[in-house]
Amino acid sequence: MTVTSPLLQAIHRELNIPLDYAERTGLPAYQEVALSELVVAQLDEAGRPLVLTKPAAAALASMRTAAQQRGVELLPFSGFRSYLYQKGLLAAKLHKGIALDDILRILAAPGYSEHHTGEAVDITTPGCPPAEEIFETTPAYAWLKEHAARFGFTESFPRGNPHSLVYEPWHWKFSVK
């Protein structure tokens, strides 16, 4: 499926996203969840709201509590992202002189990010920088690998994923059971 909304088509033209992006990556297009479906799951370390759908927020809270009971602290740092927010992330990297093909290995094009659903969350733990592969060496990651599915979360982009995206041990997607 390719993007069909006029907004996404304009964003893709502006960013020079290849027309065959969906075919090349195999990523599905995601519709942006309605704002009325979102709740503040928590405040992040900087006091900014982390926003998810109500079911994802409840599952995340339960998962964090269960991890804490085992001495593991899960620190979510990114949740819902609008198409325009995703565009801004890509544009900022382009502005820094990073090649578009390199950016599209670390960020999905607007319209193709699981974050648009309000059910994807990026997680780190104290002492580990956000969105870094080193997260895989932490007790938090080991706990997630063993227990996240019980709460409806799966790791979206494991090593060697078929989408040509970098390995993201920090990125977890909620699916209603």
pLDDT at 1 over 60: no
Per-residue pLDDT at 47: 87
If pLDDT is split at 50, 70 and 90, which confidence band does 100 have? very high
If pLDDT is split at 50, 70 and 90, which confidence band does 177 have? low
Domain definitions of the chain by residue range: 1-30+83-114, 35-80+118-177
CATH of 35-80+118-177, one of 3.30.450.40, 3.30.1380.10, 3.40.50.720, 3.40.30.10: 3.30.1380.10
Q: Measured between alpha carbons, how far is 64 from 55 in angstroms, rounded to an integer? A: 14
Helix, strand, coil share of the chain (percent; to 5): 45, 15, 40
Report the DSSP beta bridge partners of residue 42. 50
pTM of the predicted protein model: 0.94
pLDDT digits (tens, 9 = 90+) for 113-140: 999 999 999 999 999 999 999 999 999 9
pLDDT at 3 over 70: no
pLDDT digits (tens, 9 = 90+) for 27-81: 999 999 999 999 999 987 788 899 999 999 999 999 999 999 999 999 999 999 9
Q: Which two tokens stand for residue 1?
A: 């499926």
Q: Measured between alpha carbons, how far is 162 from 58 in angstroms, rounded to an integer? A: 30
Average pLDDT across the chain, whole number: 95
Q: Measured between alpha carbons, how far is 45 from 8 in angstroms, rounded to an integer? A: 31
